[in-house]
């Protein structure tokens, strides 16, 4: 059976809210509750551990742990608190519009022979350039084959445990956990995600998420 780790321990300063981002309301529910509700509705997931900032109430039906200083450290803390269970679904609380279908597709992809991790992702549609410190363009990347990656990210537990067993400075460089698998030589596959799986970083994203929820209900 699978287990799920929800990462909700970020401060979310770019949102400019009066409370931790996990508790900011979206459609009448705290942001973190959206991921909890999706994952708790899935019979394939037997346990949910949530990494939270200090002083935040643990969502009902989940195990709460104090998050770490950086994102992957929060993953390490949450995984250490989880009982046996494999694979491991990692979900950012900052992506409240995740869905049962997307988690299922990602869980299915990690079952393929030789796959260590399967990650939700979207093909890049903009042209991507690199610029130096003065803003002068130094390179235009070939966007064919480029993806922006998201959560859910699903891992074989042994591969994730090995990947997280690195010095703190390496952990601090990881903007996603799949990178830790890649640098250890593991095999990571992308799973196409719907365009509404947005990350709430600023007030604009929160407003967009509200609109998307209203559209889902319509």
Closest-approach residue to ligand C5P (CB): 10
> Which residue in the block uniquely carries the two structure tokens 């950086």?
70
Here's the x/- map for ligand C5P, 178-217, by CB under 6 A: it reads as: ----------------------------------------
Copy the structure tokens of residue 48.
Answer: 């949910």
Binding range to ligand C5P, per CB under 6 A, among 7-15, 58-66, 109-117, 203-211: 7-15
B/e letters for 182-205, b = 16+ CB within 10 Å, e = fewer, are eeeebebbbbebeeebbebeeeeb
Nearer of residues 56 and 115 to ligand C5P, judged by Cβ? 56
Are 23 and 56 within 8 A, CB to CB? yes
Compose the 147-166 pattern: x for residues touching ligand C5P by CB under 6 A, - for all others: --------------------
Count CB neighbours of 139 within 10 A.
Answer: 9
Output the smallest distance, CB 72 to ligand C5P, in A.
8
The Cα 179–Cα 173 span in angstroms is 9
Considering only residues 32 to 91 of the shown chain, the ones binding ligand C5P according to CB under 6 A are 51, 67-71, 74
Q: Which of 3, 4, 5, 10 binds ligand C5P (CB under 6 A)?
A: 10
Other residues' Cβ atoms within 10 Å of the Cβ of residue 45: 18
Q: Which residues bind ligand C5P (CB under 6 A)?
A: 7-10, 21, 51, 67-71, 74, 92-94
């Amino acid at each position: 059976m699978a287990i799920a780790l929800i990462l909700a321990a970020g401060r979310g300063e770019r949102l400019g809210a009066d409370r931790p981002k996990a508790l900011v309301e979206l459609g009448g529910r705290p942001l973190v509750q959206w991921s909890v509700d999706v994952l708790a509705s899935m019979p394939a997931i037997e346990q949910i551990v949530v990494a939270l900032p200090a002083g935040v109430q643990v969502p009902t039906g989940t195990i709460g742990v104090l998050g770490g200083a950086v994102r992957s450290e929060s993953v390490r803390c949450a995984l250490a608190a989880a009982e046996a269970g494999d694979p491991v679904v990692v979900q950012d609380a900052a992506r409240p519009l995740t869905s049962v279908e997307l988690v299922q597709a990602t869980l299915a992809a990690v079952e393929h022979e030789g796959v260590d991790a399967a990650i939700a992702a979207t093909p890049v549609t903009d042209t991507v350039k690199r610029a130096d410190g003065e803003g002068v363009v130094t390179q235009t990347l070939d966007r064919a084959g480029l993806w922006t990656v998201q959560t859910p990210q699903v891992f074989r537990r042994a591969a994730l445990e090995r990947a997280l067993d690195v010095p703190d400075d390496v952990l601090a460089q990881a903007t996603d956990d799949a990178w830790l698998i890649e640098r250890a030589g593991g095999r990571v596959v992308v799973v196409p995600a719907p365009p509404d799986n947005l990350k709430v970083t600023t007030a604009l994203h929160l407003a967009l998420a509200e609109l998307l929820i209203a559209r889902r209900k319509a």
